[in-house]
Each structure stands twice: as C-alpha cells, then as structure tokens.
C-alpha cells in the first residue's frame, strides 16, 4: 500500500537535523557507544577474520586513504577501511545491541571515521556526533516499521537490513547531501541490504557489519554523484518491506516535535564477547553456582548430574556442541557450562583450547535445554534459568531477568571505560588508550574528529614487534 | 534427506524422552550429505569434457551477446556514473579492462562491477527461465578474474567457458528450488538473488578452489545477495547485475583466503534462514558431481535455452511489441505512410498482471523499458522497438503521448506472469470502428523461437559497432566462435578494449 512521502520525509529529516537537536542525554549515551565500539574494534583487529579481510582489502588501490584501527602502518581506501574496521567491531560479537534487535554502532562508526578522514571540510567532533546519531536514529525508526523486528531474528540478520541504511544516512549527513540525495542514498542502500541468518555463528557474520558500513557509505557517495533509486523505497511494499513479513512504514518528522529514539531506548553493552542472550544464561549460571557452593560448602563439578537451561526458543543460539569460536559465542549450552566451570566467562573463554577442554565437553553432555512458553525470543522480555542437579539429589536454580549491561541495568561509566581500556590496551600504547578516552569524552568540543584516527593507530611497541614477526 | 530425518526423530523423543543433546547430534546431517556440500563438490570437480556441443554452442552465443550489450551499455549515463564512482574512490589499477574504455583499467572486482552495470544498463541482456539475467552476473567477473591471472598462465578458452557455464548452471539449479522463482518476480530481483551465487561459483571454478572453499564461496555470496524489486525500473537496477558480478567474485576471493561461512547455507534449516531467506517456498536438491555419476553431467542450458532480446527493454515488452508491430503492418498496408494517432480511437492490451511493468506514462528511459504501454505504442507507431525508441527525443514525441493516453490494460486469467506461458495481445479500435488485433505467443528471440546466428551477430555488430571499429568487432566474433579451441583466453580479452 502506497503511503506518499515516507522516503521523502526521511531524506528531509536526515538533511535538516542539526547539532542543536542533540540533547545532553543523547550525547552522553552515544559517546559511551562510540567508546565501546572503538574498544571492541581494536580488540577485534587481532582476529583471524579481520586478517583475512585485511589481506583481501589490500588488493585495492586509491589516492585517498583511511586508517585501519589498531594498525600503525597500513591504510586502506575509505570503503575498505570501513569494511575491515566494521568487521573488527563485530568479529567477537562484543559490540552493542539495541531493542528492537540490531548492532547499531558497528554499521555506522567505521563508515563515518573512514569518510571523515578524507573530507576536505574536516568535520568536527560535533559533526561526527550528529551524523552518528542520525545513523542510529534511522536504524531505530526502520525497525519500528515491523513487529517481526522486535523478536530475535530468524530470516535476515538485522544489521544487514537496517545497518546499511544507518550507514547510508549517517554518511549522507556527514557529506551534507540535499534532501533528495539523502532519499536516494537510502534507496540505493536498500539494494545492498539483507544477509540471511545462516551465516550468524560463522566466521562470515562479522562481514555483515563490515559490509553494512561499507555499502552504506558507497550508497551515499553514489547518491552524491547523481545515482537515483526508487524515491518511494520505504513507502512501497516491494522496497525495504521485502525483508519483513509484516511492514508498516510511517514518516519521520524533521524538526518540530522531534525526539531521538536513543533518548528513550538505551543500548545494551556486552560484558562477554558472545551473543546477547548468552549474558542472561551466564548470570543465571553464576548465581546457581554460588547457591550450590553456599549450600554444599564447595562447588564440585563431578557432583553435577544434570544442568537444565530454560531459555527462549531460537535455533541459531541453541548449539549443544560448538566446534568453533563462532558457534561457541552462539551457544546457550557453552556459555552456561563455561560459567559453571570457571566462575566467569571472558574473552579467553572462547580460545580454541578452552572450547575443547574435556571437562567442558563432559559438562556439556549433561545439559538439557527447555523453552518455556512464557519465555519469548525478545531481548526486552526474555529470561534465563539455570538449574543444577547434583548427584545426591540436591539442586540449585537461579534466574536472570536483566543482566548487568542490559539497557535496564546499564554499565556504570567506570565499568564501561574499564572494558574499553582492557580492550584497547591489547593493541594500543597507553597514550593511544588515554587519548581515545579523552577525545571521545570531549567529542562535542573536538575541532577535528579525524584526530581519532591518529590515536587508533598508536600501537604499542610490543604490537609493532608482533607485526613484524613472521608467523 | 534432512527434513525426513527430522520428522522421524521427533516422535522418538516424545516417546522415549531421549536426551535432547544426543538427538541434536543425530539431527545434524553428515557434512558430506548436505546440499551445500554437493554444490561445492560439483563446482570443484566439474571438468571441460562434460560440456556437450549444445552447451558450448549456446553458451558461446550468450558470451557474444553479453559482450555486445556490455559494449553498447558503456555509452549510458549510469555506466558513466558507476565508472566515475570507481575512479573517484580508487586509483587506476592496471589489471582488469573496462568495456569500451581503452586505457582504463580497474581492480578486478571494480571492473566486474562497472562491466556488469554496462551489461544491464539498457535491459538488453539475456533472460532465462526461470527468470533471471544470467550472463551479466557471471561474464564480467570471469573476464575480470582472467585479466587478474598472470599473462603466462591465463585460463584456456575451454576453462573460461567451463567457468562461465558453471556460473549459469548454479543459477539455474538454485532457481529450481522454488516455485516462486518460476513467475515474474514480486519481491527480490532475481539477478540479485542467484546472480552473486553464479558469479561466486564461476570464479571459484576458475580459481580451482577445493570443494570446501567452493561451498564457502557460495555461503559468503549468500550474505551479499538480495535486492528488492522496487529498484527495478530505476537507474539503480543496472547496479543489481554489477553488484552480483562483483560480489560473487569477492566471495570467491575471500573463500580462497580461507574465509568460512555456513556449511548449511543452501540446506533448509528450520528457524535459521539460509539462502531460503529469499523465497517463500524452498525445497533444495543436491547436485550430483560428475565423478559420482557415470553419465556425466547434463547442463540445464542444454534443456532450457536462453532468450535474447531484440530491443533494450524488459522481456515482457517483446510480446506486446511483436503483437503491436503486426497491427502496424496492417495499418500501413491499408493506408501507406506513417501511422497517425488520429486513426486510433482505443488501444487495448491483454497482458499478464505485473505491477512493475505496468506504467501508463513513463517518465524516464528506465521506466519506459518497463512499460507495456510505451512499448506497444512505440511499435504501433514505428513498426518496431529499437535502441533509439528510448532516446529523449523519441520518448517525448507528441504522437506517442497521444497514443499512450488511449491505452487500457486487461489481465486475462489465462495470461500468467510467467515468461514461459504468457502472451501479449494488442487490440486497436480505429476511429471508423474497425478493430485490428495482433497476438504474440512467442516473440522472435524467445527460447522457443531463438534468434538465428545471423540475427544474433547482426545485433552484436550494431551494439559493438557503436564503440569499436569494425575490424575489432569482426575479430571479437571470431574469438568467441573459437573460444573453446583457444589455448589462451587472452586472445579474447585483448579484443575487448
């Protein structure tokens, strides 16, 4: 059904939104997201998938070059910088998650930073903040066009649907495109959307975010030189609507009574590099473990007879025997057992050696998964319960409704910065780490946002040595 | 098959309360038994000897036609735009050549992109059944990749043709997984769904990837597939083919570097969509590898020929154009000279129901190429539709507009939106009351009534001649004709500039 003017309204809004629309609340939240994204991206620059993408991307030549996060000596054409940095951000599934579900920042920030480094206009920190928030807002608005979007996905991986739209919108904003060009950027981006969920839990999943960033940027640049797509791409049923079972678009107000979605709906920041749902099951497992230990005096693995997990129904995160780190990050069973075994789940929990531990495999064989009717596949409403049954017939159960880091219980500023520091320090020298905290913290006053690039390249000496070693 | 296995295990679980994780192990098919693995194996193991004379003959015709429409397509605005974009964003890279642009070379994926855009820029490229434009998604990638290979180890002409045919074959096989694919599309533009898969397959073949890498190439490509129909009939549509070619090549290159993706992407796994995300109904079938099959392999192209267009517009237009042309003939026979709108009271078109090719007053060349009304009226006026029919001058003719305002559409029940079964009827009521009728069931160029080699070459000469001198045009015709006998496909590549 044709509702006139929705695409037009998005184009107009992207064009018209300016820095005066940014509120303190939105600035605060989006700066936290930026910092977290940079940190997980830096950590991710040491992953195998990032390396493969980097090698591939070095095939391309260009005059303009943009920074590769965590690399002091390599630059790439801007599209490919956006590509690899986006991959880095999502490489360990450590990046932010929103409701309705997507990973909003990874699709936008890498594109903006890559673009900013090439613009003669030298965008300021405030320009970056504005464009970033435009990119988030468009994603949030588009997801609200469909009820299907509110649940854990089954068909298309959400970042591949709305992420590229956010990147196109943000890039169009930073480029200062006209309202019509902004609309066309969105239209062109839709033809780059939509990757199936089957590639989640594989090494290719991070490319969904990398490609969202890259192809959204490309869409904006094509619109800038005059390419046109369908001017009603958001309005018609066979436009963006093809990615959804139900689709009900509505227009976007440009200034008048405008309120950022981020103001009312915060993101979740992850404590564990794994699918968001794992956070519930880990917190529940840790609580059950503590209960059992408190009852019995010690926690003895050999006493465990059965572990029952009560989780929402979702096939792609139900993996009884993960064979790779990617599968492990998408496995209720694995994350529960790691928590029970180690008393914590960290970055190191997903190393190959850890995944293959006999003790872990043995514990995994004792796990049963139930999907109670009252546990919906929604990040806003789900819970996880872990029940440990011991050999003597004792049992301890715990339930987690809201994990620490969820939007209902956000990470403290201290813990957010701590996560960033730990991540960034794995790659950057202290000056780089501190520099980024400082720049992001004062982003609205920074005169040239491309200064971020120079900090992102400040690898530690240890790293520089590592890089030159033959592997 | 997987679905059968799942059905039998569920009641067992209920009856015996079997431990669920043990059942999950049961439910996973052995890696070698998946549809996805069978496709990877096929791509890796297929050899040139399995190309029958018919497959060779038909695919060489496709290569010729595709090059020709790519060359004329290099004169379009959208091609210029795509090329400009690549040149702005990237520096020149002396690797892969660009249709119609001597001296310009780009990185392979970018060359595949712009050449793919050129191929589809005028909607002049080949169409298959089930519906897609198979060659434009594959040939630019295979050409670009061949350019990338060192001068002293270029693929032979036969290897080149094999890779091309693999790319076509995979597209055909995938489309047969779904009934939805058999009709004119409504949701996803087919070249964006199967095109990247075909390109990835062809490039994986040319790169000689092993079966696992071939499977991963397909899976990586699946994450790059899919664009909506809403951008058809816009300037963006040609990019669908450009991107299919480029992204399939990219997928193969990433797979060659060891990138891995879902090993079940083509299989239908409940609750986690793979390639079936793009279809409402989907029943995958494994592909037998010729090594497992004593009878060799029969390529789909041998059973289902290609449709070639005689003028640059959506395939559906060819039926109404031929029907209208026959009415034109009668009109000028009766009253020699031009057809005048004053003679015409009413024009009724009986065509299949398909929104995106029903445009009463198209405003751009892209829309005009997707308009039953426009093509019928052009053919009524001129006796044919040709490349020039879509020029701004031709499009703005007052006589044309007069005719357009007299057109009505009907969608008879017996006229399905299916390129294998549709027809086009044009009924013109003259001012005097006489009614003239024309009907076309199978236009000349359709797979049921294929273009002769002479007609195909004429089309090629008209297209390629716009951009290349005639000696080069003739040498290209020869190079394609001999392609399966060339030791080095470089002989073809060098003629393209």
Residue A357 in tokens = 């531990």
Q: How confident is the model at residue A257 (pLDDT cuts 50, 70, 90)?
A: confident
Cα separation, B138 vs B115, whole angstroms: 10
pLDDT (0 to 100) of residue A462 = 67
Residue A286 in tokens = 């840790």
Residue A446 in tokens = 């920074």
CB A435 within 8 A of CB A312: no
pLDDT digits (tens, 9 = 90+) for A312-360: 999 999 999 999 999 999 999 999 999 999 999 999 999 999 999 999 9
Q: How confident is the model at residue B491 (pLDDT cuts 50, 70, 90)?
A: confident
Residue position matching structure tokens 């609340």: A25
Cα separation, B339 vs B399, whole angstroms: 9
CB B135 within 8 A of CB B119: yes
Q: Nearest-CA neighbor of B208 among B149, B286, B267?
A: B149
pLDDT (0 to 100) of residue B296 = 84
CA torsion, ordered B275, B276, B279, B284, to nearest 10 deg:
100
* Dihedral sign (CA A324, A53, A212, B107): negative
Cα separation, B198 vs B192, whole angstroms: 10
Q: How confident is the model at residue B10 (pLDDT cuts 50, 70, 90)?
A: very low
In this complex, do B84 and A225 lie within 8 Å of one another by their Cβ atoms? yes
Residue B479 in tokens = 């190079």
Q: What are the E-state strand segments in B158-215?
A: none
Q: Nearest-CA neighbor of B320 among B359, B291, B287, B278?
A: B359
B337: left (phi over 0), alpha (psi -120 to 50) or beta: left
Cα separation, A316 vs A119, whole angstroms: 41
Cα separation, A268 vs A99, whole angstroms: 9
Cα separation, A362 vs A403, whole angstroms: 27
In this complex, do B223 and A208 lie within 8 Å of one another by their Cβ atoms? yes
Q: In chain B, what residues touch A238 (CB-CB under 8 Å)? A: 186-187, 228-230, 356
pLDDT (0 to 100) of residue A295 = 82
Residue A469 in tokens = 């070693």
In this complex, do A198 and B273 lie within 8 Å of one another by their Cβ atoms? yes
Residue A88 in tokens = 């880095």
Q: Is the pLDDT of residue B317 over 70?
A: yes
B233: left (phi over 0), alpha (psi -120 to 50) or beta: left
pLDDT digits (tens, 9 = 90+) for B296-305: 899 999 999 9
Residue position matching structure tokens 């980097």: A54
Cα separation, B199 vs B174, whole angstroms: 13
Q: Which of A55, A61, A239 comes nearest B107 by C-beta?
A: A61
Q: How confident is the model at residue B335 (pLDDT cuts 50, 70, 90)?
A: low
Cα separation, B251 vs B325, whole angstroms: 45
In this complex, do B277 and A194 lie within 8 Å of one another by their Cβ atoms? yes
Q: Is the pLDDT of residue B21 over 60?
A: no
Residue B428 in tokens = 């013109």
Cα separation, A362 vs A305, whole angstroms: 11
Euclidean distance between the first and the last CA atom of chain B, given in angstroms as a whole number: 49
Query: Which residues, numbered 188 to 207 in chain B, qualify as contacts with chain A under a Cβ-Cβ cut-off of 8 Å?
Result: 188, 192
Query: Which residues, numbered 215 to 244 in chain B, qualify as contacts with chain A under a Cβ-Cβ cut-off of 8 Å?
Result: 219-220, 222-231, 234-236, 239-240, 243
Cα separation, B255 vs B260, whole angstroms: 7
- Ranges of H-type helices in A58-178: 78-90, 104-116, 125-143, 158, 164-175
- Chain A nearest-CA residue for B110: A60
Q: Is the pLDDT of residue B114 over 80?
A: yes
pLDDT (0 to 100) of residue A137 = 98
Q: Which residues, in sequence order, are bridge partners of residue A387?
A: A308, A397
Mutation target among B77, B89, B251 for the A interface, most CBs of A within 10 A: B89
Lowest mean pLDDT among A28-32, B131-135, B207-211, B267-271: B267-271
Q: In chain A, what residues touch B270 (CB-CB under 8 Å)? A: 315
- Chain A nearest-CA residue for B260: A203
Q: B436 to chain A, minimum CA–CA distance in Å?
A: 37
Mind giving me the DSSP string for B135-169?
Answer: HHHHHHHHHHHHHHS-GGGPPPHHHHHHHHHHHHH
Q: A63 to chain B, minimum CA–CA distance in Å?
A: 6
In this complex, do A200 and B272 lie within 8 Å of one another by their Cβ atoms? yes
Q: In chain A, what residues touch B265 (CB-CB under 8 Å)? A: 196, 198-199
pLDDT (0 to 100) of residue A4 = 52
Q: How confident is the model at residue A412 (pLDDT cuts 50, 70, 90)?
A: very high
Query: Which residues, numbered 76 to 115 in chain B, qualify as contacts with chain A under a Cβ-Cβ cut-off of 8 Å?
Result: 78, 81-82, 84-85, 88-93, 107-108, 110
- Ranges of H-type helices in B74-130: 77-89, 108-120
* Dihedral sign (CA A434, A436, A437, A439): positive
In this complex, do A196 and B271 lie within 8 Å of one another by their Cβ atoms? no
- Chain Cα centroid distance, residue B104: 26
In this complex, do A227 and B240 lie within 8 Å of one another by their Cβ atoms? no
* Dihedral sign (CA B475, B480, B482, B486): positive
Residue length, chain A? 471
Q: Nearest-CA neighbor of B119 among B159, B171, B162, B63?
A: B63
> Which residues have C-beta within 8 Å of that of residue B208, sequence separation ≥ 6?
B44
The mean pLDDT value for B114-121 works out to 98
Residue position matching structure tokens 């002479």: B454
Q: Percent of chain A scored above 70 by pLDDT?
A: 96
> Which residues have C-beta within 8 Å of that of residue A378, sequence separation ≥ 6?
A99, A150, A151, A152, A312
Largest separation between any pair of C-alpha atoms in chain A = 73
Cα separation, B55 vs B163, whole angstroms: 12
Cα separation, B141 vs A328, whole angstroms: 36
- Chain B nearest-CA residue for A212: B224
What 3 state SS string does B213-279 have? Answer: HHHHHHHHHHCCCCCEHHHCCCCCHHHHHHHHHHHHHHHHHHHHCCCCCCCCCCCCECCECCHHHHC
Lowest mean pLDDT among B27-41, B132-146, B215-229, B316-330: B27-41
Q: How confident is the model at residue B4 (pLDDT cuts 50, 70, 90)?
A: very low
- Ranges of H-type helices in B278-418: 300-303, 315-334, 365-368, 372-382, 392-395, 398-404
CB B21 within 8 A of CB A322: no
Q: Nearest-CA neighbor of B417 among B322, B316, B349?
A: B316
Q: What are the CA-CA distances from residue A164 to residues A102, B33, B227, B383 (Å)?
A: 12, 35, 13, 46
Largest separation between any pair of C-alpha atoms in chain B = 86
- Establish, for the pair of chains A and B, how many residue pairs have beta carbons separated by less than 8 Å: 208
Residue B417 in tokens = 């939106």
Q: What is the mean pLDDT of chain B?
A: 92
pLDDT (0 to 100) of residue B23 = 44
The radius of gyration of chain B's CA atoms, rounded to the nearest angstrom, is 24
- Interchain contact B356–A (C-beta under 8 A): yes
Nearest 5°: phi and psi at B438?
-130, 145
Q: Is the pLDDT of residue A119 over 60?
A: yes
Helix axes A104-116, A164-175, angle to 10 degrees: 30
Burial class (CB in 10 A: 0-12, 13-18, 19+), B428: buried
Is the reported ipTM for this assembly greater than 0.85?
yes
Q: Which of A207, A221, A315 comes nearest B85 by C-beta?
A: A221
Cα separation, A22 vs B141, whole angstroms: 45
Q: How confident is the model at residue B27 (pLDDT cuts 50, 70, 90)?
A: low
Q: How many CB atoms lie within 10 A of CB A228?
A: 21
- Chain Cα centroid distance, residue B494: 25
Q: What are the CA-CA distances from residue B106 to residues B49, B88, B94 (Å)?
A: 33, 12, 6
Q: Which residues, in sequence order, are bridge partners of residue B426?
A: B349, B438
CB B62 within 8 A of CB B478: no
Residue A309 in tokens = 């997990």
Residue A183 in tokens = 């609309």
Q: Is the pLDDT of residue A40 over 60?
A: yes
CB B64 within 8 A of CB B110: no
Mutation target among A196, A243, A326 for the B interface, most CBs of B within 10 A: A196
In this complex, do A315 and B271 lie within 8 Å of one another by their Cβ atoms? yes
CB B241 within 8 A of CB B231: no
Q: Nearest-CA neighbor of A407 among A442, A433, A381, A425?
A: A381
Residue B132 in tokens = 């897609």
Mutation target among A189, A191, A245, A367 for the B interface, most CBs of B within 10 A: A191
CB B220 within 8 A of CB B251: yes
Q: Is the pLDDT of residue B94 over 50?
A: yes
Q: In chain A, what residues touch B236 (CB-CB under 8 Å)? A: 187-188, 191, 227-230
The mean pLDDT value for B145-168 works out to 95
The mean pLDDT value for A12-33 works out to 97
């Amino acid at each position: 059904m044709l509702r006139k003017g929705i695409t037009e309204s998005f184009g107009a809004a992207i064009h018209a939104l300016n820095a005066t629309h940014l509120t303190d609340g939105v600035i605060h939240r989006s700066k936290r997201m930026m910092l977290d994204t940079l940190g997980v991206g830096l950590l991710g620059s040491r992953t195998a998938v990032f390396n493969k993408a980097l090698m591939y991307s070095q095939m391309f030549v260009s005059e303009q070059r943009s920074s590769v996060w965590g690399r002091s000596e390599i630059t790439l054409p801007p599209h490919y910088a956006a590509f690899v940095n986006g991959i880095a951000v999502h490489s360990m599934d450590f990046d932010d998650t929103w409701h309705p579900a997507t990973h909003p920042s990874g699709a936008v920030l890498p594109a903006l930073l890559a673009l900013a480094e090439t613009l003669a206009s030298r965008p300021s920190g405030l320009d970056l903040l504005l464009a970033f928030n435009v990119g988030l807002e468009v994603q949030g608005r588009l997801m609200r066009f469909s009820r299907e979007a509110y649940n854990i996905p089954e068909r298309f991986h959400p970042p591949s649907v709305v992420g590229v739209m956010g990147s196109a919108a943000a890039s169009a904003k930073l480029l200062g495109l006209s309202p019509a060009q902004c609309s066309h950027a969105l239209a062109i981006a839709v033809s780059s959307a939509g990757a199936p969920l089957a590639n989640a839990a594989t090494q290719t999943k991070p490319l969904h975010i990398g490609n969202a960033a890259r192809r959204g940027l490309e869409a904006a640049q094509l619109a800038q030189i005059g390419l046109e797509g369908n001017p009603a791409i958001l309005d018609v049923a066979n436009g963006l609507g093809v990615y959804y079972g139900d689709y009900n678009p509505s227009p976007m107000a440009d200034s008048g009574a405008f309120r950022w979605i981020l103001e009312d709906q915060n993101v979740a920041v992850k404590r564990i590099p794994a699918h968001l749902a794992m956070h519930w099951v880990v917190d529940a497992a840790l609580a059950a473990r503590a209960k059992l230990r408190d009852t019995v005096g010690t926690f003895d693995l050999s006493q465990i007879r059965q572990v029952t997990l009560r989780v929402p129904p979702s096939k792609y995160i139900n993996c009884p025997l993960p064979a790779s780190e990617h599968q492990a990050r998408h496995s209720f069973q694995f994350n529960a057992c790691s928590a029970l075994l180690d008393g914590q789940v960290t970055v190191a929990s997903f190393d190959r050696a850890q995944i293959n531990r006999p003790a872990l495999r043995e514990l995994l064989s004792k796990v049963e998964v139930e999907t109670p009717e009252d546990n919906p596949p929604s990040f806003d409403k789900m819970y996880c319960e872990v029940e440990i049954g011991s050999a003597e017939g004792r049992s301890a159960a715990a339930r987690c409704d809201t994990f620490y880091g969820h939007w209902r219980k956000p990470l403290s500023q201290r813990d957010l910065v701590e996560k960033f520091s730990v991540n960034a320090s794995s790659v950057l020298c202290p000056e780089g780490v501190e520099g980024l905290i400082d720049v992001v913290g004062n982003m609205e006053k920074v005169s040239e946002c491309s200064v971020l690039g120079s900090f992102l390249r400040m690898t530690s000496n240890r790293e520089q040595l590592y890089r030159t070693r033959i592997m | 098959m997987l679905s059968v296995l799942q059905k039998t295990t569920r009641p067992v679980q209920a009856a015996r309360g079997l431990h669920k994780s043990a059942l999950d192990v049961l439910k996973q098919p052995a890696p070698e038994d998946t549809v996805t693995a069978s496709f990877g194996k096929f791509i890796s193991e297929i050899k040139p000897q399995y190309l029958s004379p018919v497959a060779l003959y038909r695919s060489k015709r496709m290569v010729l036609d595709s090059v020709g429409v790519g060359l004329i397509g290099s004169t379009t605005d959208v091609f210029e735009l795509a090329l400009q974009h690549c040149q702005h964003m990237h520096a020149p890279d002396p690797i892969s050549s660009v249709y119609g642009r001597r001296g310009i070379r780009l990185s392979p994926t970018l060359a595949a992109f712009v050449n793919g855009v050129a191929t589809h820029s005028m909607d002049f490229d080949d169409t298959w059944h089930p519906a897609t434009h198979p060659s434009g998604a594959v040939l630019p990638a295979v050409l670009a990749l061949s350019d990338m290979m060192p001068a002293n180890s270029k693929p032979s002409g036969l290897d080149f043709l094999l890779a091309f045919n693999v790319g076509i074959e995979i597209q055909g096989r995938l489309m047969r997984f779904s009934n939805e694919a058999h009709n004119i599309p409504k949701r996803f533009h087919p070249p964006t769904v199967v095109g990247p898969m075909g390109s990835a397959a062809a490039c994986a073949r040319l790169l000689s990837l092993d079966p696992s890498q071939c499977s991963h190439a397909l899976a990586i490509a699946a994450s790059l597939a899919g664009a909506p129909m809403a951008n058809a009939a816009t300037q963006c549509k040609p990019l669908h083919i450009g991107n299919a070619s480029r992204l399939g090549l990219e997928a193969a290159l990433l797979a060659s570097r060891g990138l891995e993706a879902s090993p079940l992407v083509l299989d239908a796994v409940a609750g986690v969509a793979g390639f079936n995300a793009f279809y409402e109904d989907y029943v995958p079938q494994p592909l037998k590898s010729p090594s497992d099959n004593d009878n060799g392999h029969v390529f789909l192209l041998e059973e289902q020929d290609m449709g070639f267009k005689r003028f640059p517009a959506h395939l559906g237009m060819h039926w109404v154009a031929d029907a209208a042309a026959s009415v034109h003939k009668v009109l000028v026979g009766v009253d020699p000279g031009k057809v005048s709108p004053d003679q015409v009271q009413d024009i009724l078109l009986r065509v299949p129901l398909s929104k995106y090719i029903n445009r009463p007053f198209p405003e751009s060349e892209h829309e005009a190429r997707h308009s039953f009304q426009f093509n019928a009226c052009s053919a009524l006026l001129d006796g044919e539709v040709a490349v020039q029919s879509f020029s701004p001058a031709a499009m703005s003719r007052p006589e044309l507009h007069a005719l357009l305002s007299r057109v009505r559409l009907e969608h008879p029940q017996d006229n399905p939106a299916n390129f294998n079964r549709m027809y086009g009827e044009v009924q013109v009521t003259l001012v005097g009351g006489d009614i003239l009728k024309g009907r076309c069931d199978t236009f000349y160029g359709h797979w049921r009534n294929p273009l002769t080699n002479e007609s195909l070459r004429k089309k090629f000469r008209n297209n390629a001649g716009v951009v290349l001198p005639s000696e080069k045009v003739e040498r290209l015709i020869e190079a394609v004709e001999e392609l399966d006998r060339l030791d080095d496909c470089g002989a073809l590549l060098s003629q393209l500039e």
